[in-house]
Chain A
């Protein structure tokens, strides 16, 4: 409130309650994530702050859980390799097909626009268990269960809607006269797209790709139903970690994933500002 006029007591109380509630709401959102980070440096195999940690005793803090990530027998390296392979391949498919589709959907001549949009976005709201079970049945019948290819295809379908959404949003702000200008200067449709349109919508495409990658990088249910031992990804590894014997190594992995999330967030916000 910029007014320096003193508000009546009731309103001040109301305002204070409102701000307290908001503070509690924000704390609820962010505190659980922040707590993970210091706990991952615990020297003891506990999930709570030891007295030594609270006294800031250097003995009570350690990097042992980070060393545990590096031990090959724990399988985190292999899981990361799988996650990256599946994530990148799924992102490439989702981005190419999603961007192409968005170019069509953004055109006012698009036939059955609403139906196509509803169809293409449906993977975002379909309960993941149904997708996982269906994918297991279907890809098994094609011999693609327990293969990287099967997971890549299934993840690409989950990621494509994000690309469609971000690219159609970017295209809404694209000035189509630029394409006509390119055509009048002799560029064919493909050249005009590649040299004029694509550079301008690139931020939208990139942020859609990041969304698609994040969707695959965090996906566990399809991997659970369709993947075998050779396809264990990071989320799959965390899942069995929580299910079987929860170890502080998970907190160290979680800290890495939080840093990854921050990087993605900063990049997406930067891209958004560039495309505005």
Chain B
């Protein structure tokens, strides 16, 4: 009895110590992620701006124009939305359903005031609105408003995988020129896989050398891995821009050695090559360090034993060393892969047009196209992929062993 309550007390104490950080991570980290995921399905702007109009539109009207009440409601609600500065966001969202509607809505919101006296005199908005813009006589315009007025939408997620809904609400593929996200996700996966393989190819012999050198050499060599690890990511990216640009040191060297003619200097930056080289450089320490810590624990006598039993070096490596180093290979590769699929900074700075990855597209929708819902949905898909990899990492390696350094 005493023992059980003792254990309970210790559990409470341990949990209590961890609780402040858990709460802090919930508030400062998970809440922002939750907000992002909410935004990917929740889009209240149009619904909040045009509640009355939408209520009328939700009633039965098929084929032609909506009832006159819809015209009256929107003539009231558009100027009101203009007052509260919601007209821009509203117009943008309707425009995504039916292009051209942005200017129609903004213009109508501005001009309705001029028609107030005629409306007061009894002329119906049903006839006045088409005077402002004839788009109001097209059923498609009203369908676009109704579609944009849905509070909860799966549309961003459909768009994120190159699908959409047609006028009947059926899921269809996007027209070919708008199918860009699936191939971008695939490109991100291929680049991440490529960077992981490159890191493994370069990192494996390095880790092996560090693990098998004498203590002082080993410490020296480890420093060569740790210096880039601790050096600012932006500094390393700047270094590659300086080295790889057309008038940079590498091209100068190649020209001087006569390998490349002066008028045909190589473009190695602001394209996919730049992304590959810089990402591999940045992520290489994350491969070498876990490999090294596993290889350090492989007894050196194993290879000698294999040799004394008649194995040649290749056989000894493949059948004795490689299998024992696999935990390190798994830990390093998974870590590099997880970090690369979310990579943003390096592709943004050295990737040019062709070297952009999914993270850069998210930033584009946040900063340039201002399609925040789509940015959030693309982020949601990316987050799901990383979460899956994180769980695999936990299964294979164990999260306790996650050490960035």
A134–B21 touching, CB < 8 Å: no
Q: Once the chains are docked, how many angstroms separate the CA of A36 from the CA of B237?
A: 11
Interface 1/0 per residue, B361-405 and A, CB below 8 Å: 011001000001001100100110010011001100001101111
- Check A214–B399 contact: CB distance below 8 A: no
- Residues from chain A with Cβ under 8 Å of B28 in the complex: 153-154, 156-157
Verify A32–B239 contact, CB threshold 8 A: yes
Which residues of B in the span 12-32 have a Cβ within 8 Å of any Cβ on A?
13-22, 24-25, 28-32
CA distance A159 to B341 in the complex (A): 21
- Interface window among A21-29, A73-81, A179-187, A195-203: A21-29
On whether A254 and B227 interact (CB within 8 A), knowing A32-B281, A101-B18, A157-B29, the answer reads no
Q: Are B14 and A126 in contact (CB under 8 A)?
A: no
Question: Interface on chain A toward B: helix, strand, loop, or mixed SS?
Answer: helix
Residues of chain A in range 152-179 having any CB-CB distance to chain B below 8 Å:
153-154, 156-157, 160, 162, 164-165, 168-169
Counting chain A residues whose Cβ lies within 8 A of the other chain, the interface size class is: 35 or more
Q: Mark A122-145, 1 if CB is under 8 A from B, else 0.
A: 111111111101111111010000
Report whether A100 and B400 are in contact in the complex, using a CB–CB cutoff of 8 Å.
no
Q: For residue B349, which residues in chain A have a CB less than 8 angstroms away from its CB? A: 239, 242-243
Q: How large is the interface on B (under 10, 10 to 19, 20 to 34, 35 or more residues)?
A: 35 or more
A53 to B140, CA, bound (A): 69
Cα–Cα distance between A254 and B234 once the two chains are bound (Å): 8
In the complex the two chains form, is A33's CB within 8 Å of B221's CB? Answer: no
Measured CA separation A18–B209 after assembly (Å): 9
A130, chain B: closest CB distance, angstroms:
5
- Residues on the A chain within 8 Å of B14, using CB: 103-105, 107, 109-111
A265 at the interface (CB under 8 A from B): yes
Q: How far is the CA of A251 from the CA of B232 in the complex (A)?
A: 12
A101-B227 contact given A124-B402, A129-B342, A242-B241, CB 8 Å threshold:
no
Question: Is the pair B18, A218 in contact by a Cβ cutoff of 8 Å?
Answer: no
Q: Is A87 an interface residue (CB 8 A)?
A: no
Cβ contact within 8 Å between A14 and B313 = yes
The verdict on A22 contacting B206 (CB below 8 Å), with A101-B21, A127-B342, A242-B349 known, is yes
Q: Does A70 contact B (CB under 8 A)?
A: no
**A56 within 8 Å of B (CB atoms):** no
B234 lies within 8 A of A118 (CB): no
Q: Is A262 an interface residue (CB 8 A)?
A: yes
Please measure, in the bound complex, the distance between the C-alpha atom of A14 and the C-alpha atom of B17, giving whole angstroms: 55
Task: Tell me whether B39 is interfacial, beta carbon within 8 Å.
Answer: yes
Q: Does A49 have its Cβ within 8 Å of any Cβ on chain B?
A: yes
Given contacts A33-B239, A218-B234, contact A123 B228 (CB under 8 A): no
Contact call A141/B35, Cβ cutoff below 8 A: yes
The answer, yes or no, to whether B121 is at the interface (CB within 8 Å) is: no
In the complex, per-residue mask of B219-241: 1 if CB is within 8 Å of any chain A CB, else 0? 00101111110111111111111
Q: Which residues of A contact B29 (CB under 8 A)?
A: 122-123, 126, 131, 154, 157
Q: Is the CB of A36 within 8 A of B235?
A: yes
Q: How far is the CA of A160 from the CA of B20 in the complex (A)?
A: 12
Minimum CB distance partner of A253 in chain B: B235
Question: Knowing that A30-B228, A130-B382, A137-B36 are A-B contacts, what are 7 other residue pairs whose CB atoms are under 8 Å apart, sorted by A's residue number?
Answer: A33-B231, A49-B249, A114-B399, A118-B399, A238-B232, A238-B238, A254-B235
Question: Which A residues fall within an 8 A CB radius of B?
Answer: 11, 14, 18-19, 21-22, 25-26, 28-30, 32-33, 35-36, 39, 46-49, 93, 97-98, 100-101, 103-105, 107, 109-112, 114, 116-131, 133-139, 141, 153-154, 156-157, 160, 162, 164-165, 168-169, 211, 214, 217-218, 220-221, 225, 235, 238-239, 242-243, 246, 250-251, 254, 257-258, 261-262, 264-265, 268-269
- Listed A/B pairs (19) with beta-carbon separation below 8 Å: A22-B209, A29-B206, A29-B224, A32-B240, A35-B242, A48-B247, A107-B14, A114-B394, A120-B18, A127-B386, A128-B342, A128-B359, A133-B379, A137-B35, A138-B36, A139-B32, A220-B345, A239-B349, A261-B232
